[in-house]
Amino acid sequence: MPYQSINPATGKVLKTFKELTAAQLEQALRTAATCYTTWRHTSFAHRATVAAKAVAILRKRADEFARPMTIEMGKRIEEARDEVAISADIIDYYAKNAERFLAPQKLKPKSDQAVIESSPLGVLFGVQPWNFPYYQLARFAAPNLMAGNVVMVKHAGCVPQCALAFERLWREAGAPVGAYTNLFISHDQVNEVIDDPRIQGVALTGGVDAARGVAARAGQNVKKTTMELGGNDAFIVLADADLDKTVKWAVWAKMNNMGQCCVAAKRFIIVGKLYDRFLAKFQAALAAFTPGDPMDPATTLSPLSTEAALATLLAQVKRAVAKGATVVLGGKRIARPGSYMQPTILTDISPKNPAYREEFFGPVALLFRVKNEEEAIALANDSDFGLGGSVFTQDIARGQRVARRLDTGMVFINHPTWTAAELPFGGIKHSGYGRELSSLGIQEFVNKKLVRVSSLDASP
């Protein structure tokens, strides 16, 4: 895939970037490896100073960083500003907490002394997606740079200006050349980087197919990986839920970032008599979205990220309908320039319908009516994915009981699945493995070294 900025609101090509030559890639790897030899020995205080400068730049120049997201992948400008803000929060979080998270851990063996020390692994390689062009980079780069690693990143081909902006951010903040490196590289070059002995770990956020290839390649090289993949999150509405408040959150859970989010609500599972009223209110709310220029704060419906993304969704809807699903709302392209799709609601989806197991990465909601709590749990767990999920009820103890039985990495009660610097993020099953963010995120790519001190007079 070429590295090319195409404004999805207009379809116009903005700028194209060349892939690195073999010589340029080798130089980048050599520079990163050299940088690591010194960066690993810098103090937490020094690294935190660099990170704090990056935070200050993002917060002071939020509009400057937000604009490339909007023009490259269509994110509404207000959501783009919010993403800049949370990216800054993540970097700030690790700047302030990394030393505490990685402090030596004293053990209590039966005799003598022992401690677990945390040390960096080396040069890490990240393959990152387009849907949150800075947030995804921040949660990979911030903890690992603070841990003393250095990072190299292959970003998605449709957001090259965002990729370059984030690399410049770290250089402007005072990070040495090689600490954070953007790579415009091909699929074959991705394999070369994974194979390279200077790379010590690989992180991917993306789809299952990409994960299979990257994880297999890393496995052949016996390298640690983390995989944050897709989701088919259930939004469970129990019979006692506050309907008006729940519908408000349902709309946000589906339409935030135009549904292009791994933890967007995708399967709405409604218990009992609430179903018809929920559907009516939900449908009316989605029908009110109005397409427009994502740079205009008044716009409520922005384009999908690319023409290919739109084509994929339309094909999924067509296939679902052919297998028996009912289109209650939308289902079509919007007749205007750009990659716009109508907010869509599908019902009558049987387990034999491919839509039952697919991830719809966009403004398509699948609604299911169930008889009771037990059926809701069973349906939510009948998925190849296990990323997030949410439960809406006025009985918190009941919500916690349901949450304990959901096979996912994250469950939110009375709120859609979402993210914050201090909360661990990750899933199970085809949603991947490993965790990002929180204290767990900085532990993934460090050496947990045991150091034990024994007496020379101790018995063998």
Task: Render pLDDT for 325-347 as a digit per residue (tens, 0 to 9).
Answer: 999 999 999 999 999 999 999 99
pLDDT value of residue 455: 84
- pLDDT band for position 157 (cuts 50, 70, 90): very high
Q: Which of 23-37, 200-214, 367-381, 445-459 has the lowest mean pLDDT?
A: 445-459
Same domain, 223 and 238: no
Structure tokens at 43: 């103090």
> Does 425 fall in a domain?
no
Same domain, 160 and 239: no
Residue 171 lies in domain: 3-229+431-451
Cα(256)–Cα(267) distance, rounded to whole angstroms?
A: 15
Cα(206)–Cα(129) distance, rounded to whole angstroms?
A: 6
pLDDT value of residue 456: 86
Q: How far is CA 17 from CA 4, 119, 168, 196, in A?
A: 6, 36, 16, 24
In the annotation, is 261 catalytic?
no
Spot the catalytic one: 262, 358, 436, 444.
Answer: 262
H helix intervals, 61-76: 62-73
List, for residues 111-143, the tens digit of each pLDDT value: 899 999 999 999 999 999 999 999 999 999 999
pLDDT value of residue 1: 57
Cα(312)–Cα(77) distance, rounded to whole angstroms?
A: 24
H helix intervals, 344-454: 373-381, 396-404, 438-441
Say how many domains are in the chain.
2
Is residue 411's pLDDT more than 60? yes
Pairing of strands 412-413, 389-392: parallel
Same domain, 246 and 374: yes
| Residue located via tokens 């990685």 | 102
> Does 106 fall in a domain?
yes
Spot the catalytic one: 167, 228, 359, 444.
Answer: 228
Same domain, 79 and 214: yes
Is residue 321's pLDDT more than 60? yes
Same domain, 165 and 202: yes
> Does 459 fall in a domain?
no
R_g (Cα) of the chain, nearest Å = 23
Q: Is the pTM of this model over 0.95?
A: yes
Outline where DSSP puts E strands in 121-252: 123-127, 150-154, 180-182, 199-205, 224-228, 234-237
Same domain, 337 and 316: yes
Name the 3-class secondary structure at 312. helix
Outline where DSSP puts E strands in 187-259: 199-205, 224-228, 234-237
Structure tokens at 107: 């053990």
> Does 423 fall in a domain?
no
CB 213 within 8 A of CB 225: no
pLDDT value of residue 45: 98
- Residue 252, domain CATH: 3.40.309.10
Is residue 459's pLDDT more than 90? no
Same domain, 220 and 302: no
In the annotation, is 35 catalytic?
no
Same domain, 261 and 194: no
Same domain, 208 and 254: no
